[in-house]
Amino acid sequence: MDQYEMCWLEYKKLPEEELSWYREWFKRIVLLADREEVKTALTELKLFAKCALDLEPSIEHSFKKKKALVLGRIGKLAELFETPELHEEGFFILHRNVHGTESLVVGAERSSGFVHAVFELIKRVRLGERVETMNVISEPAMPLRMVNHWDNMDGSVERGYAGRSIFFENGRIVMNRRTRDYARLLASIGINGVVLNNVNVRNEAVKLIDDERYLRKLSALADLFRDYGIKIYLSVNFASPMILGGLETADPLDRRVRNWWKNQAKKIYSFVPDFGGFLVKADSEFNPGPHFFGRTHVDGANMLAEALEPFGGVVIWRTFVYNCLQDWRDHSTDRAKAAYDNFKPLDGQFSDNVILQTKFGPMDFQVREPVSPLFGALERTNQMLELQITQEYTGQQVHLCYLGTFWKEVLDFDTFAKGEGSFVKRIVDGTLFGRKLCGVAGVSNVGTDPNWTGHDLAQANLYTFGRLAWNPDERVEKIVREWIVLTFGNDEKVMNNIEYMLMKSHRTYEKYTTPFGLGWMVNPNHHYGPNPEGYEYSKWGTYHRANWEAIGVDRTSRGTGFTLQYRSPWREIFDSIETCPEDLLLFFHRVRYDHRLKSGKTLIQAMYDLHFEGVEEVEEFVKKWQELEGRIDPVRYKRVLERLTMQLEHAKEWRDVINTYFYRRTGIPDERGRKIYP
């Protein structure tokens, strides 16, 4: 196995001054819980004490000394002081006087709570927070906080940009030291579920739910992840009863099919008693599904739900369903409308242990899209938000593109489903519609690269994802700063420059690629680099239909009617070219190149300006990073600089291709006479 680093969990010995503060606190750990409940938490505490404090704590069961770090079950702690009520994964860290001992009391209900608590405590110590002021009560907003791996059993990763799969190699399941460290990384940011395999379940991967060699290995993997409060899930192929079971159908209303799934569930749970459940991409991009058998998504999902229900498992059913054999000549079909059209009529019909997982936007993870109208539309259905941590359309971990700022916009989007304040985050945490099984899923950006994510700064995306899943109300600036300190230390210039780069980077990437919600001008298949008409005549339904005078698809009430899927006032706001937010202008409207924006600029001039600006901003990123030479270890400094250098070259390519494309379309030169290639 190759060497790897530990991202934000790379513990270094604390500076002398701080050592003295903290050592007193970590010398003795008083246990008011069963050893089994705090097993992992203690392991983590000890590891940190050893690496950062050069200390081996003693484990005690009573208060004898002046100071104590207490790990206690809330039930037991309640005998000592008034304890807050908490979600089962929650915890508190409180500075209290207990039996005359000045105590830092870490309380939780279950093993996972203790793990979260200890990682939180370690984080705060590493950020330099004084124990005396610690007063933390924390519980997750979202019940399900998952990463989805699009890993294939041959070791490749669909849309992976950080090496090979950490879970599969050559058709086998991998479990090694790195697997445990991955569980640690995930637990430290509050993740509680991981889907191990690609949603496109093909070839050998179909057998994961059946072949005992795999199930034995999954059982061991589940044990490992369980220590860290994480359940494992699998993506399944809807046609499994045919492929594995030898049935001639996978019709969800067929008794034999239903029985097959029930037996299969029994088999899985006999190996993995707390198996999370299935993630299903059905009737989507050539994956089989209930439509193939003349049935509905409800029929399909509920059948699987029935099989998993006795064991407490869930079915996560993706709403990424659309016609992927569209004809570009057909202007009436609008892919943006597909998820809503498919699933809105089914609201209220899904079983309680079914969750619909919806990509944030109506298309597919573009650098900017409006929030999917489906979130506000399903009132009686469990919902999960799907984000893409891996940077498929956002620079593939060659480009710096911090996604937290944009995710925050998505979570804070007000759907107006129950009037003002009906934020997406209140839907996917279950509170708005009173649903229990809700959450957020992020498609993983992790692979076997030594730094896990290819681009070192892309670690911030994974970190932020977990932190926002736990608490979507957290400020992104705070998350970014803590990630920087945990990862690169607390040098002021390092903090400021990296924060500046991260916070700006998504908008910068948007500027030099496809602003105004245009999207899709990428090379087909691999989706890297500019190709303005790469998808223009394809079957994928992603057209901009640029001609000599205008560009964009009219998705208003006068066009495809997509805007009508939104509730007021968004419906009206998006519907009018006057009120539509300009960064989504070309998503919703067909606009003439000479259309005047609010700034007074024409669309075409603004297009040119943004592309020149975007490149200038990348030049600034390079400069900001170069200022950090000597302040960051040379390995990571060089690695990031290489990527930034590539980013700059590729940003120029984007700028020039897009500007030339529009210039060749229109013959309109840049007002400021900058270089546009003819």
Residues engaged in binding a second copy (CB under 8 A): 328-329, 331, 523-525, 530-534, 536-537, 545-549, 653, 656-657, 660, 663-667, 677-678
Given the structure tokens 């994928």, which residue do they identify? Answer: 540
**For a second copy, the closer CB: 79 or 677:** 677
CB-CB neighbours of 379 under 10 Å: 15
Phi then psi for residue 314, to 5 deg, are -120, 160
Chain centroid to Cα 126, Å, comes to 25
Laid out side by side, the sheet with 135-138 consists of 58-60, 28-32, 67-73, 101-108, 91-98, 135-138
One-letter amino acid for residue 593 of the chain: Y
Smallest gap from residue 292 Cβ to a second copy (A):
24
Smallest gap from residue 280 Cβ to a second copy (A):
30
Q: How far is the C-alpha of 112 from the C-alpha of 89, rounded, in Å?
A: 6
Smallest gap from residue 385 Cβ to a second copy (A):
34
Tokens of 85: 């009520």
Smallest gap from residue 36 Cβ to a second copy (A):
52
Tokens of 460: 């911030």
Smallest gap from residue 522 Cβ to a second copy (A):
11
One-letter amino acid for residue 210 of the chain: D
* CA distances for 569 relative to 148, 415, 428, 587, angstroms: 34, 9, 21, 18
Residue pair 316/357 in contact by the 8 Å Cβ criterion: yes
**For a second copy, the closer CB: 182 or 661:** 661
Q: Which of 632, 236, 234, 229 is nearest to 466 (CA)?
A: 229
**For a second copy, the closer CB: 380 or 539:** 539
For residue 277, give the 3-state DSSP assignment. Answer: strand
**For a second copy, the closer CB: 5 or 536:** 536
**For a second copy, the closer CB: 189 or 658:** 658
Q: How far is the C-alpha of 442 from the C-alpha of 536, rounded, in Å?
A: 29
First to last CA, the chain: 50
Smallest gap from residue 111 Cβ to a second copy (A):
49
**For a second copy, the closer CB: 81 or 537:** 537
Smallest gap from residue 466 Cβ to a second copy (A):
37
**For a second copy, the closer CB: 147 or 550:** 550
Tokens of 138: 């924390």
Residues 6+ apart with CB under 8 A from 478: none
**For a second copy, the closer CB: 566 or 654:** 654
HSE-up (13 A, CA, CB side) for residue 626: 9
Smallest gap from residue 663 Cβ to a second copy (A):
8
* CA distances for 581 relative to 317, 577, 602, angstroms: 31, 8, 16
Smallest gap from residue 205 Cβ to a second copy (A):
22
**For a second copy, the closer CB: 174 or 550:** 550
Q: Which of 510, 500, 506 is nearest to 625 (CA)?
A: 500
How many residues make up the chain in this entry? Answer: 678
**For a second copy, the closer CB: 223 or 533:** 533
- Please report the sign of the dihedral spanned by the C-alpha atoms of residue 565, residue 522, residue 384, residue 209: positive
Active site residue 285: yes
Q: How far is the C-alpha of 583 from the C-alpha of 594, rounded, in Å?
A: 17
Beta bridge partners of 147: 194, 442
Beta bridge partners of 168: 173
Q: How far is the C-alpha of 95 from the C-alpha of 27, rounded, in Å?
A: 16
Smallest gap from residue 660 Cβ to a second copy (A):
8
Smallest gap from residue 180 Cβ to a second copy (A):
36
**For a second copy, the closer CB: 249 or 660:** 660
Smallest gap from residue 266 Cβ to a second copy (A):
39
Q: Which of 129, 285, 327, 572 is catalytic?
A: 285
Residues 6+ apart with CB under 8 A from 75: 109
Residue pair 618/651 in contact by the 8 Å Cβ criterion: yes
Q: Which of 392, 449, 609, 670 is catalytic?
A: 392
Most distant CA atoms of the chain, gap in Å: 83
Phi then psi for residue 215, to 5 deg, are -65, -35
Chain centroid to Cα 18, Å, comes to 34
**For a second copy, the closer CB: 266 or 664:** 664
Residues 6+ apart with CB under 8 A from 525: none
Tokens of 130: 């004084």
Tokens of 491: 């040098």
Q: Which of 364, 449, 499, 617 is catalytic?
A: 364
Smallest gap from residue 664 Cβ to a second copy (A):
4
Burial 499-532 (b: 16+ CB within 10 A, else e): bebbebbbbbbbbbbbbbbbbbbbeeeebbbbbb
Tokens of 400: 């710096």
CB under 8 A, 24+ apart: contacts of 340-345: 340/372, 340/373, 340/374, 340/377, 340/565, 342/297, 343/297, 343/319, 343/374, 343/378, 343/381, 344/374, 344/377, 344/378, 344/565
Catalytic residues: 285, 364, 392
